[in-house]
Amino acid sequence: MSFKVVIIGAVALGPKVACRLRRLRPDAEIIMVDQDRFISYGGCGIPYYLSEDVPDERSLMSTSFHVLRDEKFFREAKGVTVRPRTRALGIDRAKKVVAIEDLESGETSELAYDKLVLGTGSLPIRPPIPGIDLENVFCVSNLQNALDIKKTIVRPDVQRAVVVGAGAIGVEVTEALADIWEIKTALVERLGHIFPRLFDANMASMGERHLEEKGVEVLTGETVLRIEGEEEGGGRVRRVVTDRRSLPADIVILAAGVRPNSSLAKEAGLELSARGGIVVNEFLATSDPDIYAGGDCVENQSLVTGGPIFTPLGSLANRHGRVIAARIAGKEERFPGVVGSFIVKVFDLCLAAAGLSQEEALAAGFDAERVLTVGYDRAHFMPEKALMFLQLIVDRSSRRVLGIQGVGQANDAVAVRVDAVAALLKYHPLVEDISNLELAYSPPFASAMDSVNALGNTAANLLDGLYRRMTVGEAMEHLHGGDEDVLFLDLNAPRQAKPYLEQFPRQWMNIPYEKLASRIDEVPRDRTIVTICDSGIRSYESQVFLSARGYPSVYAMELHLLRKLGLDATTHST
């Protein structure tokens, strides 16, 4: 009797389990079923297939050595039987069989298993709104959808698009439509900012502004009420109606997130989480020890909060697959959990994050503070330097680092900092660990005091009460409320300060940083002073300096107020 392993789902997790198990258990009989005709493809590459960065769909289904990962490849090279277009109908755990249906012939049969693996992935959330079944309304849930979308967007009469949902897929598809296909695109997000939960509003706003610069209409805090077609209740889509406006649309992409595809597990009586993810232990076994699950259909454990976290990512599916194969083969491997790391390209920007945003950290009960810095991504004297914004989320009382977010150019510079902090998060680092994070240093790659170390230092200064910060929100209230008790002391060069002096004549003064000590008598002692520069360094130093000279009420302006006021910090610093 051979050892039989049945795998349901053949996109990311399934093939990984199958291939590794083949190496660990050469004797096992491995059968993988999938209801789709496409198997073993890089689903995360779909937006790049739409944008033609990936020239054809075969590239997404090929190995790095250009061999198509199809049924024949799995049979001949891997010794794994794949049955595409085959749906799993149900699991009989007592008999240890899976009922299946051949979707071509309609025939049903049973597959016996010794171990069963569920890699059923996720399903797109379809918002309960009228019109989502109209022609040219798509989800981006699998390669078949992608092919259908591609066929549509190449048509010359498709000139307006609406993308619903501003998570990674929504934004990536928006970029593909607007950039390559020059389709006028509106991005609608129900929550207050793009990448909700992943980023805080201030960091997300940089991405929003960049999307707008690229011609995308970004509509946050806006709910889609219905989608209308060319005829009453049918035909091709014509417009999307939100709670604020009507948006013309020749194509609509629904990217309102995904949920675990766990119905098969549920019907089989396996334990599910509140969110509907399959519950697995650190060996990725379900509540039935003969059934494993991984990838988008399970809920992971957060190494930051200790609680459950839903992180549907191809990278985790691959790592899950490896552990599942090892366990089935009797090895002692574990999947410890996830910190939740995330990265996305948005036109010319990269946004990356790991751990918790401040919004999430507060929701999880932490006394969460955030610290924002800006600095160069390599030595400031190197010609190819660029500015990078970093935000650290820390727990005030314990000084524990809960998360990091970064925004910079669309190269790997932000990833260098975010991934290094991501590596630390499971050890529950303190802000001092960020101050001393040892990035490899050489001027073409980092700064002597690297931006991520400066971020840790700034967080420590804030927690220690040395850095007394005024947030952008507070400043805007003072400025636009005309509060003359507050005086903004601009430490930039006179040329830079001029437009603000003109805009806020009673609330703005300018003394260049190097002159502050000699011109201190010009700074009134009976007003609240808010120091401001474009890097955050000089404003902090000057805040400390004025306080030491006995000024009773001094704050340092959180950077990027100037951005809010309409001038970009990047144009300031060079």
Residues of this chain, 504-523, that bind a copy of itself according to CB under 8 A: 513-518
| DSSP letters spanning 425-453 | HTT--BHHHHHT------TTT--TT-HHH
Distances (CA, A) of 334 to 292, 311, 319, 330: 13, 18, 10, 12
Measured from the CB atom, the residue of 136 and 451 that comes closer to a copy of itself is 451
CB atoms within 10 A of CB 308: 16
Scanning 99-107, 243-251, 347-355, 395-403 for contacts with a copy of itself by CB under 8 A, the matching segment is 347-355
Indicate the SS3 state at residue 6. Answer: strand
CA dihedral sign, ordered 367, 373, 379, 385: positive
Instruction: Note whether 206 binds a copy of itself by CB under 8 A.
Output: no
Q: Which of 35, 40, 62, 391 binds a copy of itself (CB under 8 A)?
A: 62
Distance CA 317, CA 60 (A): 16
Q: Which of 7, 188, 252, 339 binds a copy of itself (CB under 8 A)?
A: 339
Measured from the CB atom, the residue of 186 and 497 that comes closer to a copy of itself is 497
Measured from the CB atom, the residue of 165 and 314 that comes closer to a copy of itself is 314
Distance CA 5, CA 28 (A): 7
Distance CA 438, CA 375 (A): 17
Q: Which of 157, 232, 438, 521 binds a copy of itself (CB under 8 A)?
A: 438
Instruction: Note whether 382 binds a copy of itself by CB under 8 A.
Output: yes
- Binding-residue pattern over the window 453 to 492 for a copy of itself, x denoting contact by CB under 8 A: x---x------x-x--------------------------
Distance CA 360, CA 402 (A): 10
Measured from the CB atom, the residue of 132 and 413 that comes closer to a copy of itself is 413
Binders of a copy of itself among residues 106 to 135 (CB under 8 A) are none
Chain center to CA of 27:
41
Binders of a copy of itself among residues 523 to 542 (CB under 8 A) are 533-535, 537-538, 541
Measured from the CB atom, the residue of 4 and 236 that comes closer to a copy of itself is 4
CB atoms within 10 A of CB 73: 18
Q: Which of 138, 195, 335, 500 binds a copy of itself (CB under 8 A)?
A: 335
Instruction: Note whether 573 binds a copy of itself by CB under 8 A.
Output: yes
> Least separation, in Å, of the C-beta of 174 and a copy of itself?
15
Instruction: Note whether 318 binds a copy of itself by CB under 8 A.
Output: yes
What is the residue type of 559?
L
Distances (CA, A) of 572 to 80, 497, 510, 567: 59, 10, 15, 8
Q: Which of 101, 432, 474, 483 binds a copy of itself (CB under 8 A)?
A: 432
Classify residue 550 by burial, with Cβ atoms within 10 Å: 0-12, 13-18, 19+: exposed
- Binding-residue pattern over the window 132 to 171 for a copy of itself, x denoting contact by CB under 8 A: ------------------------------------x---
Distance CA 360, CA 366 (A): 9
> Least separation, in Å, of the C-beta of 390 and a copy of itself?
14
Q: Tokens for 516?
A: 């502050």
Q: Which of 81, 145, 398, 411 binds a copy of itself (CB under 8 A)?
A: 411
Q: Looking at the DSSP assignment, which residues form a beta bridge with residue 430?
A: 400
Q: Which of 94, 274, 381, 526 binds a copy of itself (CB under 8 A)?
A: 381
CB atoms within 10 A of CB 65: 5
Indicate the SS3 state at residue 402. Answer: strand
Instruction: Note whether 19 binds a copy of itself by CB under 8 A.
Output: yes
Q: Which of 204, 224, 353, 393 binds a copy of itself (CB under 8 A)?
A: 353
Q: Which of 119, 165, 314, 536 binds a copy of itself (CB under 8 A)?
A: 314
Answer for the pair 160, 174: CB distance below 8 angstroms, yes or no.
no
